Copies of this chain bind each other. A is one copy, B any other.
Amino acid sequence: MNVQTAQTWQSVQKEVLRRIHARDWKPGDLIPNETELAKEFGCARTTVNRALRSLAEGGLLERRRKAGTRVAAQPVAKATLNIAVIRHEVEDRGARYGYQLARREVRIAPTHISATLGVCVQDRLLHVMALHLSNDAPYALEDRWINAVHVPDALKQDFQSISANEWLLQNVPYTRGEISFSAKPASAENANYLNCPENSALLAVDRLTWDHDQSVTVVQVLFAPGHQMRTRI
């Protein structure tokens, strides 16, 4: 019953975290309710709420009205990966960024692409392929289809000096998207661009974005062999 002073929500959170890590409160345990904790810490319930809510967002606590707050039995580690503009990614690593447009064409897309984008099979889409370089070495290969029906402005861009990656982010809004991570063997073409042996294991990031119910773009980014995406948990 140590009444504390100088209560900020961070200090409350820190103390709660300490108790969880020290196993005072074990996974699955119900912890005291907000009112009791507020009394113990000598602060307002609002402050305790702020501290616990943010821990719950991180997956460490599970909260339910009336049922109370408990320590997550099996905390699902949430790995948050920042998918930034590739140029920034390279520059943040302190490397010199380079960009090469490999292909730009307006054409009818393969059926799996038009199906994914939800457009008619005979719609002409913009296909852009580009290589991103880090200190002149291949860094990532971007293979993108843009829904030119919904984004006609894209047709005016030649993507010679600015990547579609960057142009879209600056100019075309999207409201939602899907992203998936997988490993893929390098095709002959991939290997040629990325300057690696054919069938090398490549990290692939596939993205599909929508603006309300209109698809915007679908893209696959293949990273050069050995590439890692890292984060803390």
Q: Which residues of B contact A199 (CB under 8 A)?
A: 199, 201
Q: Using A83-B77, A83-B78, A83-B79 as known contacts, say yes or no to A21 and B173 having CB atoms under 8 A apart.
A: yes
Other-chain residue from B169, B185, B202 in contact with A75 (beta carbon distance below 8 A): B169
Instruction: Render A204-233 as a binary contact track against B, CB cut-off 8 A, 1 for contact.
Output: 100101011000000000010111111111
Q: Which residues of B contact A20 (CB under 8 A)?
A: 173
Task: Classify the interface of chain A: helix, strand, loop or mixed.
Answer: strand
The count of identical subunits is 2
In the complex, the answer to whether B73 meets A83 with C-beta atoms within 8 Å is no
A1-9, A105-113, A133-141, A175-183: which lies at the B interface?
A: A175-183
Cβ distance A136 to chain B, nearest Cβ, rounded Å: 22
- Enumerate 22 A-B pairs (CB-CB under 8 Å) in ascending A order: A20-B173, A21-B175, A27-B170, A74-B166, A77-B207, A78-B83, A79-B80, A80-B80, A83-B233, A177-B233, A178-B230, A178-B232, A180-B228, A180-B229, A180-B231, A182-B203, A182-B229, A183-B204, A185-B200, A185-B201, A201-B202, A209-B233
3 smallest CB-CB distances across A and B, nearest first, come from: A183-B183, A201-B201, A183-B201
